[in-house]
Amino acid sequence: MLHLPILRHGRPYRSLSVSSTPHFRTKEPFVELSLANPGLIRRDLLQAERTWSILQQYKAQDLLRMTKRAAEFFLHDPLPLGEAWQTPEEYVAQISATTGLPLVMVRKNMMKIYGVMAEIDHVISGLTRGIEPAVLDEGYGEVNGHAVSFFPRGYNLGVVLPNNSPGVHSLWIPAIAMKIPLVLKPGSAEPWSPYRVIQALIKAGFPPEVFSYYPTDHAGAGEILRSSDRCMLFGDVGAVKSWRNDPRVELHGPGYSKIVIGGDCIDHFDRYLDVMIQSIAENSGRSCINASGVWVPRRGREIADALAQRLARIEPKPADDPDAQIAPFADPRVAERISNMIDKGLYEPGAEDYTARYRPGGRLVTFDGATYLLPTILYCESPEHGLANREFLFPFASVVECPEEQLLEAMGPTLVVTAITHSERLKSRLLASSHVGRLNLGPIPTMKIGWDQPHEGNLFEHLYARRAFQQVRELVHP
Amino acid sequence: MSTIAVETDLALRQQQVRERLDAWTREVIEWHFNPDTGTPFWLDWAAQAGWDPRKEIHTYADLDKFGNFQDEWLRGGPVRRWVPKAYANSPISVFETGGSTGVPKSRININDFRIDYELFSETLPDEAFPKGADWISIGPTGPRRLRLAVEHLAQYRGGICFMVDLDPRWVIKLIKWGEMQMMERYKQHVIDQALTLLRAHPNIKCIFTTPKLLEALCEKVSLKKLGITGIFCGGTEMTPQFCRFAVEELLEGIYFAPTYGNTLMGLAVHKPLTKEDGYAIVYYPPTPRAMIEVVDPDNPSRIVEYGETGRVRLTTLTKEFFMPRFLERDECERERPHPLYPWDGVRNVRPFSRFSATVVEGVY
């Protein structure tokens, strides 16, 4: 069986504690991961300053060049995988094997990771609002004739990564090009991408010491978050709750992303069905930027019905089918629990599963030995319903009727809002809202990302702080 | 001795242990169910059960007739119902387990903790835990048995025990509240006190502490340079990987004695750790005073095969406390007898996996 070691400052370490991740269909162990004990992580991270200084010996411009080279290695080359090697096609197949994602979706995600590496200068320019990379080398510089100075907020970035979809890895990659060493905790079902990205970066010339890779348990993840100077945490409702008050940790929890249709456009909702469907179902609904709600002032039942008719057509297909649109659950018990949770929620009056009208069986199905949750569209007659604002790991959305005046208060924190309206009043209220992480005005799918428009916080601002700065070049000696 | 001779000798000693266990079981049953010496709880229990254990229990295996001991019986009072009549006028201690929420389980004690730790003392090598050396205990005290037990161990070996307290119930609350920084500060507060004592008292050669506190101590100092020669570690779960990490990276050759124990059982000794065995943590219970068995979770009266995983079942047999067939919230593998401990052991004890089932909400 394949074995992925821990990387302790780039040095492989085989642990006595291991976990194995099964193949989503056969349920046979597919890959074994060395698990880091929390004390080992903590002890390693005592070296953070030393590791950071290694990376400071490189010019930022060179790191950008190396990241671009790494993008090509990531996409095209065989790279080390523990004691074995991994071709790009094997990488795609392995992710599919442990996450259930169809190959076509893995390839899309792979291109997303490639994109952020290949376009790293553009990405970092977006994050820093155009600051010259050399500012990171010198600690100061000029922007539009004004002196600027930045200092790192810490010596490393610890990232607790998810299992849901490889695309999220594009969010932390820029840190290393911004001269901040990485401490990564991969998800148990998706250990592949961070390992491959690290190997590509090392091959491109990054010093191995600046990469730590710790497959670990819940306690180990907590240790990474405690012991790293700056952090990112991808997690479910329960996981992110404990870290809400820690400014060192940038939280990537559920997105509760939504499409909002104003009263002025609601009578033409059929023109926007494609945007809604793409937002709900792309990437099998596994991203925090997938829409889990469509909020409207009226005609909710008709919209739910129209979406349900379209989405009920999506059926499981073999993993290698280029038309596959939905991914199974690697752990069938999770699918069962989610489906039960939705069914229990439907006992509360005021909601209906419209997709149930258009498929003969239930939403929980097995196909080719794997367990799926089929796309599910609910209608909720008010935002107070228990299922009005929920998010699950499959194409799921509630069409919620809510008066426009109450919309912003009722919808709560929302990562992405796509607002379809001409109403200046609604637009200006959305623009002023602190609840909205990313605002799309117009029929833009919630899934559409602009690398220069970071959501959920700006990585550069998370890693660097600006200080006031003045300088006189000629020193006067007494 | 040849391999066959060793195995024959081991089998013979196993048989002797079994006979001693059966005899001890009869003695303990006679004690707890005799109206003159017995324990009020068990005398009431027998009256309601309608059978007399003194007549029907002849061997250790017969204890199955009791069914599984219910942990609820140990929560709440009156605690004196657990004091055998024969000890009614003795000074009684009460020790508690867990208790982060609700009423903790209580066990009364008179001398059991001393006996357990004196037996354990025999397994400690003198070169690592020198007679006459002083100790420091850095860990849970308060209502826990460790407070008196570790001190007694030190005194029994001719030393004096310094104490630094850690309140695990407070730590659990801090974690539940998400007060991770406060938890770190509390840990640091404990470690600072320990370091002050360690630096001020060079005769401290031996430490009792928990795995987490051991790691935290080693972040600050080289225990070897401070003159520590033996570490007795317990209180929470330990994995083979933790033991390897401790031996290879923290302790610089200091003797490391991991233990598995609790208020209800006593203290299990460990088979010496070896790299060749993957630092497996194998514990042997203090037979005949307590037995740990590994049972089928779906049929707790069936003991699993050697190497098979099952749930930990504990039976405590002392004149102070009788607790038959208690199902712990732990699982492990059943381990073969060892030449030093010719009875069943347990390998890699860890929390019972069936108690963890969560629903994940949210895509992230």
Write out B288-301 in H/E/C secondary structure.
Answer: CCEEEEEEECCEEE
Among residues A300, A452, A457, the alpha carbon closest in space to that of A381 is found at A300
Yes or no, beta carbons of B240 and A16 under 8 Å apart: yes
Interaxial angle between packed helices B180-200 and B168-176, expressed in degrees from 0 to 180 and rounded to the nearest 10? 150
What is the pLDDT at residue B252?
94
Domain that holds residue B167: 111-258
Among residues A176, A179, A162, A174, the alpha carbon closest in space to that of A221 is found at A162
What are the φ and ψ backbone dihedral angles of B289, each rounded to 5 degrees?
-75, -25
To the nearest whole Å, the CA of A311 is away from the closest chain B CA by 19
pLDDT digits (tens, 9 = 90+) for B283-317: 999 999 999 999 999 999 999 999 999 999 999 99
Element (H, E) at A335: helix A332-346
> Which of A37, A225, A245 has the CB atom closest to B241's CB atom?
A37
Element (H, E) at A278: helix A273-281
ipTM of this model?
0.81
What is the pLDDT at residue B359?
41
In a mutagenesis test of the B interface, which of A216, A236, A340 is the best target, namely the one with the most B β-carbons within 10 Å? A236
What is the pLDDT at residue B238?
86
pLDDT digits (tens, 9 = 90+) for B252-277: 999 999 988 888 888 888 888 888 88
Per DSSP, helices labelled H in B201-281 are 211-220, 240-245
Number of domains composing chain B: 1
Positive or negative torsion for Cα A391, A397, A402, A406: positive
pLDDT at B358 over 50: no
Q: What is the pLDDT along chain A (478 residues), one digit of tens a residue?
A: 899 999 999 999 999 999 999 999 898 999 999 999 999 999 999 999 999 999 999 999 999 999 999 999 999 999 999 999 999 999 999 999 999 999 999 999 999 999 999 999 999 998 888 899 999 999 999 888 888 999 999 999 999 998 878 888 988 999 999 999 999 999 999 999 999 999 999 999 999 999 999 999 998 999 999 999 999 999 887 788 878 888 999 988 888 999 999 999 999 999 999 999 999 999 999 888 999 999 999 999 999 999 999 999 999 999 999 999 999 998 889 999 999 999 999 999 999 999 999 988 899 999 988 999 999 999 999 999 999 999 999 999 999 999 999 998 999 989 999 999 999 999 999 999 988 989 999 999 998 877 666 656 689 999 999 999 888 877 766 5
Provide the CATH number for the domain around residue B212: 3.40.50
In a domain, B273, yes or no: no
- Per the model's pLDDT, the better-predicted residue between B235 and A279 turns out to be A279
- Three-state DSSP class for residue B86: helix
Chain A residues near residue B181 by CB distance under 8 angstroms: 246
Instruction: Give the mean pLDDT of chain B.
Output: 91
Cβ–Cβ < 8 Å for A211, A202: yes
Beta bridge partners of A234: A252
- Three-state DSSP class for residue B310: strand
Interaxial angle between packed helices A60-76 and A88-99, expressed in degrees from 0 to 180 and rounded to the nearest 10? 80
Strands A146-152 and A464-467: antiparallel
Instruction: Round to whole Å and give the CA distance between B122 and A175.
Output: 55
| Terminal Cα-to-Cα distance of chain B (whole angstroms) | 62
Per DSSP, helices labelled H in B207-321 are 211-220, 240-245
- Give me the count of residues in chain B: 364
Q: Which domains does chain A have, with CATH numbers?
A: 2-253+457-467 (3.40.605.10), 257-441 (3.40.309.10)
> Out of A371-385, B60-74, B177-191, B216-230, which region has the weakest mean confidence (pLDDT)?
B177-191
Yes or no, beta carbons of B178 and A235 under 8 Å apart: no
Yes or no, beta carbons of B178 and A244 under 8 Å apart: yes
In a domain, B183, yes or no: yes
> Which of B178, B219, B246 has the CB atom closest to A46's CB atom?
B219
In a domain, B28, yes or no: no
Chain B residues near residue A335 by CB distance under 8 angstroms: none
Element (H, E) at A223: helix A218-227
In a domain, B47, yes or no: no
Note if the bond before B288 is cis, omega within 30 degrees. Answer: yes
List residues of B whose CB lies inside 8 A of any A CB: 178, 180-181, 184, 211-212, 215, 218-219, 239-242, 244-246, 249-250, 278-279, 357-364
- Tell me the count of A-B CB pairs closer than 8 A: 98
Q: In what order do the strands lie in the sheet with A18-22?
A: A2-4, A29-34, A18-22
Instruction: Round to whole Å and give the CA distance between B84 and A470.
Output: 81
What is the pLDDT at residue A331?
86
Among residues B347, B323, B325, the alpha carbon closest in space to that of B105 is found at B323
- Burial environment of residue B257 by CB neighbours within 10 A (0 to 12, 13 to 18, 19 or more): buried
Instruction: Round to whole Å and give the CA distance between A214 and A255.
Output: 26
In a domain, B291, yes or no: no
In a domain, B149, yes or no: yes
Element (H, E) at A275: helix A273-281
Q: Which residue of B has its CA nearest to A248?
A: B181
What is the pLDDT at residue A92?
97
In a domain, B226, yes or no: yes
In a domain, B200, yes or no: yes
To the nearest whole Å, the CA of B268 is away from the closest chain A CA by 23
Element (H, E) at A417: strand A414-420
Q: What beta strand segments (E) does A157-210 contain?
A: 157-160, 182-185
- Per the model's pLDDT, the better-predicted residue between A428 and B364 turns out to be A428
Q: What is the mean pLDDT of residues B98-112?
A: 84
